[in-house]
Amino acid sequence: MRICVIGSGYVGLVSGACFSDLGNNVICVDKDKQKINNLNNGIIPIYEPGLEELVLKNKKQNRLFFSTDINNSIKKSDIIFICVGTPTKNNKADLRYVFKAVHNIKKNLNKYKIIVTKSTVPVTTGDKIEKILNLKKNEKKFNVVSNPEFLREGEAIRDFLYPDRVVIGTDSKKANNIMRNLYIPIIKKRSRYFQTSRRAAELIKYASNAFLATKISYINEIANLCEKSNIDVKEVSNGIGLDQRIGERFLRAGPGYGGSCFPKDTKALVTTANKFNTDLSIVKTVIKSNNNRNKLLTSKIQKIMNNNLKNKIITFLGVTFKAGTDDMRESSSLKIIPKLVNKGSLIRYYEPTGVKKEFKKFKNIKYCLNINEACKYSDLLIIHTEWNEFKQLNFKNLVRKNNFKVYDMRNLYSPDVMKKNKINYFCVGR
């Protein structure tokens, strides 16, 4: 298959690299010239384990190409994957990048093509794309298919190649056959191929993300109850997760959910439901609960520091929205850290994926090159993400100061061991 992937970000680049690795000829295009230049020079613009090796290997084999020439890339291809961003604007999915890509496709429909939305797009977007492409005039020239992506950053390659399911939304037999053939190497590895209507596929993506966001918010609220009733939330998570109807994943208490998907997709789902006069009261409550979560964690930090934050050195270990990624979008650190700075705290952070541009404008936020530099003489260490390198720290050796405190937002350490070692230790829901 000759494939064109429009948008070479977390989803587009991973999809392009994986499809090329499965033997297809792939051109990844992007409007960002710098990104494409870097990719052509073997420089990977994002942190994603295993991606660099996969890109370099397939580039070398002449199966994977990078270009800013969207028109020619579309003309040469049989399947066009739209993988551009769909950020939030006024609580809705902003589809301007999707439609820009669709207009490019319209100009270059030189032969039959399948246009696939892999970007997360609201119900009826496929219908709108079809309309733009002018179904009557171009009737035999294309099919619009929804193929939502479920990969997680940090696990993207494995999730792409070994997904729980591949969802294909189309009523066209021809398009379905082509999509099934494309995914055969993946389906053979036991992933379920699930064909459905295009609108259902669009909704499956939003409904899945909202469900996972609900699980996170739910356990976070249960953690609040555990803190007040002297129960360990980890034990509660294990106890309920063993029920196969519930499942153990996404039941770890911690900061509110963040990242490039859950916050925007929950809001966009509510907006879509409103459009169809449907009240998604559960999802609305989840959004509210998650917004409160970051406020609650900030108050907890204040409480831990006895309301004395001025000139206190507070160290963040990890600032991205979760471990395994360099993605800062909607990270709870973006909400918590500026509040602490306003209260006069001196913030240091160590982040395995490097310095973050989001904090450059703050005078009192300092990026440290290693854990030692970040923790030395600190008043409070906050474990914000769960990278492996944060899991076995010798806090006393690192901090070298009396009365320092540790706030473990990911419950990586045992409260009993910390107590034995006489460390002022705070965690979540325990």
125 part of the interface to ligand NAD, by CB under 6 A: no
Known catalytic residue at 4? no
220 part of the interface to ligand NAD, by CB under 6 A: no
The torsion angles phi and psi of 240, rounded to 5 degrees, stand at: -85, -30
Residue nearest to ligand NAD (CB): 9
202 part of the interface to ligand NAD, by CB under 6 A: no
The torsion angles phi and psi of 213, rounded to 5 degrees, stand at: -65, -35
Stretch that binds ligand NAD, among 23-31, 107-115, 267-275, 366-374 (CB under 6 A): 23-31
204 part of the interface to ligand NAD, by CB under 6 A: no
Output the smallest distance, CB 218 to ligand NAD, in A: 22
195 part of the interface to ligand NAD, by CB under 6 A: no
Output the smallest distance, CB 157 to ligand NAD, in A: 12
Q: Which of 3, 4, 5, 8 binds ligand NAD (CB under 6 A)?
A: 8
Output the smallest distance, CB 339 to ligand NAD, in A: 26
120 part of the interface to ligand NAD, by CB under 6 A: yes
Complex with ligand NAD: residue 356 or 430, whichever CB lies closer: 356
257 part of the interface to ligand NAD, by CB under 6 A: no
Q: How far apart are the C-alpha atoms of 269 and 69, rounded to whole Å? A: 33
Complex with ligand NAD: residue 156 or 365, whichever CB lies closer: 156
Q: Which of 29, 167, 283, 314 binds ligand NAD (CB under 6 A)?
A: 29
106 part of the interface to ligand NAD, by CB under 6 A: no
Stretch that binds ligand NAD, among 83-91, 178-186, 195-203, 372-380 (CB under 6 A): 83-91
Complex with ligand NAD: residue 326 or 373, whichever CB lies closer: 326
User: Among residues 28, 83, 261, 368, which one is catalytic?
Assistant: 261
94 part of the interface to ligand NAD, by CB under 6 A: no
Output the smallest distance, CB 27 to ligand NAD, in A: 12
Q: Which of 133, 151, 236, 412 binds ligand NAD (CB under 6 A)?
A: 151
Complex with ligand NAD: residue 90 or 230, whichever CB lies closer: 90
Output the smallest distance, CB 298 to ligand NAD, in A: 26
SS (H, E, C) the chain: CEEEEECCCHHHHHHHHHHHHCCCEEEEECCCHHHHHHHHCCCCCCCCCCHHHHHHHHHHCCCEEEECCHHHHHHCCCEEEECCCCCEECCEECCHHHHHHHHHHHHCCCCCEEEEECCCCCCCHHHHHHHHCCCCCCHHHEEEEECCCCCCCCCHHHHHHCCCEEEEECCCHHHHHHHHHHHHHHHCCCCEEEEECHHHHHHHHHHHHHHHHHHHHHHHHHHHHHHHHCCCHHHHHHHHHCCCCCCCCCCCCCCCCCCCCHHHHHHHHHHHHHHCCCCCHHHHHHHHHHHHHHHHHHHHHHHHCCCCCCCCEEEEECCCCCCCCCCCCCCHHHHHHHHHHHCCCEEEEECCCCCCHHHCCCCCEEECCCHHHHHCCCCEEEECCCCHHHCCCCHHHHHCCCCCEEEECCCCCCHHHHHHCCCEEECCCC
Output the smallest distance, CB 4 to ligand NAD, in A: 10
Q: Which of 3, 9, 19, 294 binds ligand NAD (CB under 6 A)?
A: 9
216 part of the interface to ligand NAD, by CB under 6 A: no
Q: Which of 1, 2, 22, 32 binds ligand NAD (CB under 6 A)?
A: 32
Nearest to 200 by CA among 124, 142, 143, 99: 124
119 part of the interface to ligand NAD, by CB under 6 A: yes
How many residues of this chain bind ligand NAD (CB under 6 A)? Answer: 27
Q: Which of 5, 7, 179, 320 binds ligand NAD (CB under 6 A)?
A: 7
289 part of the interface to ligand NAD, by CB under 6 A: no
Q: CA gyration radius for the chain?
A: 23
Stretch that binds ligand NAD, among 77-85, 163-171, 239-247, 357-365 (CB under 6 A): 77-85
- Which residues of the chain form contacts with ligand NAD (CB under 6 A)? 6-12, 29-32, 35, 70, 83-86, 97, 100-101, 119-120, 149, 151, 153, 260-261
Active centre residues (catalytic): 261
